[in-house]
Amino acid sequence: NVTAPDFAERFVGTAVSEFKGLDILINNAGYTWDNVIQKMTDEQWYAMIDCHLTAPFRILRAAQPVIRALGKAETEAGQRMMRKVVNISSMAGLFGNPGQTNYAAGKAGIVGMTQTLAKEWGRMNVTVNCVAYGLIKTRLTGNAAEGGTAHIDGRDIKVGVNPDLMAAMERGIPLGRGGTPEEAAGAVYLLCIPESDYVSGQTLVCSGGLTGF
Ligand SMILES: NC(=O)c1ccc[n+]([C@@H]2O[C@H](COP(=O)([O-])OP(=O)(O)OC[C@H]3O[C@@H](n4cnc5c(N)ncnc54)[C@H](O)[C@@H]3O)[C@@H](O)[C@H]2O)c1
């Protein structure tokens, strides 16, 4: 659970002990818990902010001393090794989406965090970018009629999208369909390979050509 207060330290510590370093960090864990603002509880609000904003903040804060030490040692040895952070945002964070005040706020916040850390961490040879998804066909956006739930942070959260709504959304996408998980991962991959070593502080929209809702 990324929202556990001690998660960040354990996560970074495990990466270092298991892999002897920390080269690529992706803040991806997330879910939605929708409601129109007049019905949204504080619990719903904080659940989204905790997962989509506070958890990445804590993870990146915990990673900084490790990355700084690794970068310093490499610089002293005359080497330059680029490291990569990719934070996962959403078109809801860029353009808003009805029923998602909480989620959109978190996903917009991670864009600001990304832009700030790109400036703070550039000297450590770290690129910090975002990928903002449109509609990707995952558990999150599966068939709501099948009654899927995800057990997250001690709660059972309904997942899925109404199939009629899903079909209408897909018709609005220039490529005519939602993306696959592999296509979603491809956008992250682009920001992790050496060819993107001079790209930082950017938000790459992975949406099949959709540019707004
Ligand atoms: N699927 C889409 O259309 C879409 C669109 C925009 C953004 N996103 C974002 O993409 C990311 C991945 O979502 P997905 O579509 O693959 O959904 P998914 O439900 O298939 O996968 C998300 C994963 O995150 C995990 N997770 C959620 N909360 C967690 C927590 N507190 N601690 C640890 N793990 C947690 C879930 O258990 C799940 O394994 C999320 O950040 C989501 O908001 C997805």
How does residue 134 score in pLDDT terms, banded at 50, 70 and 90? very high
Rounded to an integer, the average pLDDT of 112-139 is 97
Rounded Cα distance, 28 and 43, in Å: 21
Catalytic-role residue among 103, 133, 189, 198: 103
49 within domain boundaries: yes
Q: Average pLDDT over the chain, rounded to whole?
A: 95
- Domain CATH number, residue 156: 3.40.50.720
Q: Is residue 126 a part of any domain in this protein?
A: yes
Q: What are the pLDDT digits (tens) for 61-85?
A: 999 999 999 999 999 999 999 999 9
Q: From the CA of 138, how far away is ligand 1's center (Å)?
A: 8
- Work out how many domains the chain is built from and give that number: 1
3-state secondary structure string across the chain: CCCCCCHHHHHHHHHHHHHCCCCEEEECCCCCCCECHHHCCHHHHHHHHHHHHHHHHHHHHHHHHHHHHHHHHHHHCCCCCCEEEEEEEEHHHHHCCCCEHHHHHHHHHHHHHHHHHHHHHHHHCEEEEEEEECCECCHHHCEHHHCCEEEECCEEEECCECHHHHHHHHHCCCCCCCECHHHHHHHHHHCCCHHHCCCCCCEEEECCCCCCC
Q: Ligand 1: which of 87, 114, 136, 188 to mutate, most ligand atoms within 8 Å of CB?
A: 136
Q: Is residue 213 part of a domain?
A: no
Active-site annotation holds for 46: no
Question: Does 54 map to a domain?
Answer: yes
Between the CA of 160 and the centroid of ligand 1 the distance, in Å, is: 12
Q: Ligand 1: which atom is nearest the Cα of residue 141?
A: 1
Q: Which residues line ligand 1 (CB under 6 A)?
A: 1-3, 28-31, 51, 88, 90, 133, 135-136, 138-141, 150, 152-153
Residue 213 pLDDT grade (very low, low, confident, very high; cuts 50, 70, 90): low
Model confidence pLDDT, tens digit, residues 11-66: 999 999 999 899 999 999 999 999 999 999 999 999 999 999 999 999 999 999 99
66 close to 14: Cβ distance less than 8 angstroms: no
Tell me the mean pLDDT in the region 124-140.
96
What does the pLDDT look like over 84-117, one tens digit per residue?
999 999 999 999 999 999 999 999 999 999 999 9
Q: Tell me the pLDDT tens digit for each residue of 139-191.
A: 888 888 887 888 898 899 888 888 998 999 999 999 999 999 999 999 999 99
Is 2 a member of any domain? no
Task: From the CA of 55, give the closest atom in ligand 1.
Answer: 31
What residues make up the domain containing 149? 7-206
